[in-house]
Amino acid sequence: MILSYSNPKFKDMILSGHKIHTIRQDMHDRWKVGISIQHWMYNPRNVAKCPHKFLDGTCAGIQYIHIVRQGDYTPEVFVRPTPVHFGAGRVWLTKSQVHELADNDGLTIPEFIEWFLPNGASDYYGKIIHFTNFMYTERL
C-alpha cells in the first residue's frame, strides 16, 4: 500500500533510518503486519508536485495509539496491540517515551501536538505503522 508524505524531511529521515514509523488513521482497517509499503514523496495523484516513490518496504508491526491533550505540553499517550480502547494490553508511555515516539516519527513535541491535536483537539486515535521490529512496550 502507498504511504505518501507531504514534508520533504520525512523522505531523508526514512532513508537514513531515523523515522522508523508513521502514525495514521485507518478507518477501514487496511494496515496489517506483513503488507508491502510503497513510500512516496507527495501524493501520486497530484502530478503538479512531482510525486515519486523513493522506497519499498514491509509493515513490520502495528500498534493502536490514543493521544490525549494535556495542556500545551507533552500529551499523554497509550498504545496497545489490539483495537480495544481500554483493558488488557494498554501501555501508557512515560514522558520520555512520548518524546521518543515523536522523534521516531520525525517530529518535535510541538510539531507532534500540532499534527495530531490541531486547533485544540482533545484526542486522536490511529495506528502506528512500524517500518522496523521496534515496538513501544512497558519498560521497568
For residue range 81-122, list pLDDT tens digits in order: 666 555 556 778 888 999 999 999 999 999 999 999 998 888
Distance of CA 113 to the CA centre of its chain: 13
Q: What is the DSSP string of the chain?
A: -EEEESSHHHHHHHHHT---EEEE--TT----TT-EEEEEES-TT-GGG--EEEEEEE--EEEEEEEE--TTSPPEEEEESSS-SSSTT-EEPPHHHHHHHHHHTT--HHHHHHHHSGGG--EEEEEEEESSS-------
Q: What is the pLDDT of residues 10-48, one digit of tens each?
A: 999 999 999 999 999 999 999 999 999 999 999 988 888
- Is 106 inside any structural domain? yes
- Is 78 inside any structural domain? yes
Question: Is pLDDT at 4 greater than 70 in this prediction?
Answer: yes
Mean pLDDT of 64-70: 88
- Is 16 inside any structural domain? yes
| Bridge partners for 91 per DSSP | 79
- At residue 38, the pLDDT reads 98
- Is 102 inside any structural domain? yes
Question: Is residue 10 within 8 Å of residue 106, measured between CB atoms?
Answer: yes
Written as nine digits, the cell of 42 is 507527495
- Is 29 inside any structural domain? yes
- Is 135 inside any structural domain? no
How many structural domains are present in the chain?
Answer: 1
- Is 139 inside any structural domain? no
- Is 138 inside any structural domain? no
Residue 79 belongs to domain spanning: 2-130
- At residue 140, the pLDDT reads 42
Distance of CA 69 to the CA centre of its chain: 17
Distance CA 121, CA 126 (A): 14
